[in-house]
Structure 1
Amino acid sequence: MHIHPLITDSATLANLCSRLADADFVTVDTEFMRESTYYPELCLIQIADVNEAAAIDPMAPGIDLKPLLELLVENEDVLKVVHAGGQDIEIVYNLTGKTPYPLFDTQVAAMALGQGEQIGYSNLVDSWLGISVDKGARFTDWSRRPLDERQIEYAIGDVTHLAAIFPKMLERLRKTGRGAWLDQEMERLADPANYANDPDLAWKRVRVSGRKPDMLGRLKAIARWRELEAQGKDLPRGRIVKDETLGDLAGNPPRKQADLAKVRGLSATWGTNDIGARLMAAIEGATPLSAEELPPRDDRKPGLGKEGSLVADLLKLLLKIRSRDIDVASKLLARSDELEALAAGTRKGLPMLEGWRYDQFGRDALDLVEGRLAFAVQGGRLTMTRTEEVA
Structure 2
Amino acid sequence: MTPLERRSVSSLALLYCFRMLGLFMVLPLLALYAVDLPGADPLTIGLALGIYGLSQALLQIPLGWLSDQLGRKPVIIGGLLVFALGSVIAALADSIYGVVFGRALQGAGAIASTVMALVADLTREEQRTKAMALVGMSIGLSFAIALVLGPAVAAAGGLGAVFWFTSLLAIVGIAIVLFLVPTPPRGLRHDDVGARSGLFMRSLRDVGLLRLNFAVFSLHFILMALFLVVPGQLLDVAGLDRDSHWLVYLPALALSIAGMVPMMVLAERKGRMREMFLLGIILLMLAMVIMSIAWLPAMIYLGMWLFFSGFNYLEATLPSLVSKAVFQGGKGTALGIFSTCQFFGAFAGGALGGWLVKTGGNTALVMSCFGLAVIWFLVFLPSHSVATRAAAATGE
TM-score (norm 2): 0.27
Kindly indicate whether structure 1 or structure 2 has the higher relative contact order, using CA contacts under 8 Å at least 6 residues apart.
Answer: 2
- Write 1 or 2 for the structure with the bigger share of strand: 1
Higher-Rg member (1/2): 1
TM-score (norm 1): 0.28
